[in-house]
Amino acid sequence: MKSLYLLINFSSIIVPFIFSFHPKINFHRQWRFLFPSIITVMAVFVPWDIWFANKEVWGFNTKYLTGYTLFHLPLEEVLFFICIPYCCLFTIHCFKILIKKDYFAAYQSLFTSTLILLLLIIGLYNITKLYTSITFILLALVLIILKYIIQPVWLSRFYFSYLILIIPFAIINGILTGTGIDEPVVWYNNMQNLGIRIGTIPVEDIFYGMLLILLNVTVYEFLLNKNAGKKESSILSF
């Protein structure tokens, strides 16, 4: 099915897009902060994706692609960096409306420090494995900057949100990596990762996804607070 990857992108974003206009959600009012954040983060992830594809760290199965390309990548892969962040930030926005308690507040500092340490150990120990080392070390560096320099009040809420977002992420990424279909849409070179899979999903994808959404939230928060100047407008701050 040539349009499978495109269909996955469309299916992931259609419901969040429609409900963005719901009067109790009004997520469309945040687009002026959302889309600049998505574009900014794409400026990091698209070149990274191109580099890894050229290095054959991962690649794309033409059986499931329309054949259109953008920035030397399948069009569907570029759309992934728009659709998934949109869905995730929409979901986080909804959590803000529905969930008032910060469940991870008391554990944020310890969890962040532990995660940074583990990411650095695993990343440096596997420095020759490009996917593992770059993903883990970059995520660790971003967390160091957030914890010790930016010190955002929303980080604990991000962890809570991402823990829930892992569920739809696993469904979408599972299909992309081969669950329920004859061949994977996106294939991975196990010489460049730990070789550990959760079902069909490389374990690195969990942290790659965390880095993608964390950077989107960070830029979104910066733009929102800079322009709105109101703490209560924050997507994760209450």
Q: What is the pLDDT of residues 12-44, one digit of tens each?
A: 999 999 999 999 999 999 999 999 999 999 999
pLDDT band at residue 232 using 50, 70 and 90 as cut-offs: very low
* Residue 20, in any domain of the structure: no
**What is the separation of C-alpha 66 from the centre of its chain, rounded to a whole number of angstroms?**
23
Which residues in the chain belong to E strands, given as ranges?
A: 58-60, 69-70, 73-74, 186-188, 197-198, 201-202
Domain assignment of residue 191, given as a range: 4-9+29-233
For the cut 80, the answer to whether the pLDDT of residue 228 exceeds it is no
Whether residue 184 lies inside any domain: the answer is: yes
Within-domain flag for 22: no
pLDDT above 80 (res 128): yes
pTM for the complete prediction? 0.94
Residue that is written with structure tokens 């990411």 in the block: 119
Residue 14 lies in a domain: no
- Count how many domains the chain has: 1
pLDDT band per the 50, 70, 90 thresholds, residue 112? very high
- The pLDDT assigned to 235 comes to 55
203 and 196 in contact (C-beta within 8 Å)? yes
Task: Report how far residue 222's alpha carbon sits from residue 150's, in angstroms, rounded to the nearest whole number.
Answer: 10
Q: Is residue 146 part of a domain?
A: yes
Best CA proximity match to 236, nearest among 134, 137, 124, 161: 161
- Asked whether residue 200 is domain-assigned, the answer is yes
Q: Which residue has the higher pLDDT, 156 or 236?
A: 156
Dist. CA 29–CA 14, nearest whole Å: 17
* Residue 92 contacts residue 235 (beta carbons within 8 Å): yes
154/74 Cα distance (integer angstroms)? 34
Q: What is the pLDDT of residues 166-221, one digit of tens each?
A: 999 999 999 999 999 999 999 999 999 999 999 999 999 999 999 999 999 999 99
Would the pLDDT of 234 be above 80?
no
Structural tokens at position 162: 């991402």
Q: Is 135 contained in some domain?
A: yes
**Assigned domain for 78 exists:** yes
Both tokens of 6, joined, read: 């495109």
